[in-house]
């Protein structure tokens, strides 16, 4: 085979391959961006679901979400540290926020680890009833139990 016998380059195929590679790279970058942007979505969604139940007045469902245990009534002795009654006092109409009619999950963040341990959750900031002072809740990564945040949210 000599130089004059070489095949002509397939310009259509090369263009198609270049487009496929470019599309794959753009798709991969989009997936990475969306994964980063929605990395805290599961925890934020749990908090949002709890507040929707509170707004409906369904405190039993909200307490089940708080403890990540929808069957909490079957073993109430498991929840002695923070009981259903305390939950209703905190989040019901007699609580700090009054009757909760609206909420907005305003963001979340993993706190900076200054003690060298493993951070097992994140702080979720919720604006309740359009108050200036947000509710700061701690949500564990697994099993998505909710608690009051020891860290103030900013």
User: Do 120 and 50 belong to one domain?
Assistant: yes
Closest CA to 38 of 30, 26, 27, 50: 30
| Mutual angle of helices 59-66 and 84-91, in 10-degree steps | 110
Which pair of structure tokens corresponds to residue 150?
A: 């020891």
Instruction: Please report whether residue 29 resides in a domain.
Output: yes
User: Do 112 and 73 belong to one domain?
Assistant: yes
Number of domains composing the chain: 2
Mean pLDDT of 61-88: 93
Helix (H) or strand (E) run with residue 125 in it: strand 121-128
Mean pLDDT of 112-128: 85
Q: What percent of the chain has pLDDT over 70?
A: 97
In which band, very low, low, confident or very high, does the pLDDT at 120 lie, cut at 50, 70 and 90? Answer: confident
- Mean residue pLDDT of the chain comes to 91
C-alpha–C-alpha distance, residues 68 and 61, integer Å? 10
| Owning domain of residue 73 | 41-148
* Partners of 138 in beta bridges: 123, 147
User: Do 143 and 100 belong to one domain?
Assistant: yes
User: Do 83 and 20 belong to one domain?
Assistant: no
pLDDT at position 1, please? Answer: 60
Whether residue 127 is predicted with pLDDT greater than 90 in this model: the reply is yes
pTM given for the model = 0.82
pLDDT digits (tens, 9 = 90+) for 8-49: 888 889 999 999 999 999 999 999 999 999 999 999 999 999
User: Do 16 and 65 belong to one domain?
Assistant: no
């Amino acid at each position: 085979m000599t130089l004059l016998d070489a095949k002509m380059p397939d310009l259509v195929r090369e263009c198609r391959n270049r487009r496929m590679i470019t599309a794959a790279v753009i798709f991969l970058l989009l997936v990475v961006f969306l994964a980063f942007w929605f990395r805290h979505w599961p925890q934020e969604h749990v908090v949002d679901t709890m507040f929707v139940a509170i707004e409906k007045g369904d405190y039993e469902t909200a307490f089940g979400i708080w403890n990540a245990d929808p069957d909490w009534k079957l073993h109430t002795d498991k929840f002695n540290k923070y009981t259903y009654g305390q939950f209703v006092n905190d989040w019901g109409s007699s609580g700090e926020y009054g009757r909760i009619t609206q909420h907005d999950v305003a963001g979340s963040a993993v706190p900076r680890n200054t003690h060298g341990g493993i951070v097992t959750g994140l702080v979720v900031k919720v604006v309740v009833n359009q108050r200036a002072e947000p509710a700061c809740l701690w949500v564990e990564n697994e099993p998505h139990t909710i608690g009051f945040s020891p860290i103030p949210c900013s």
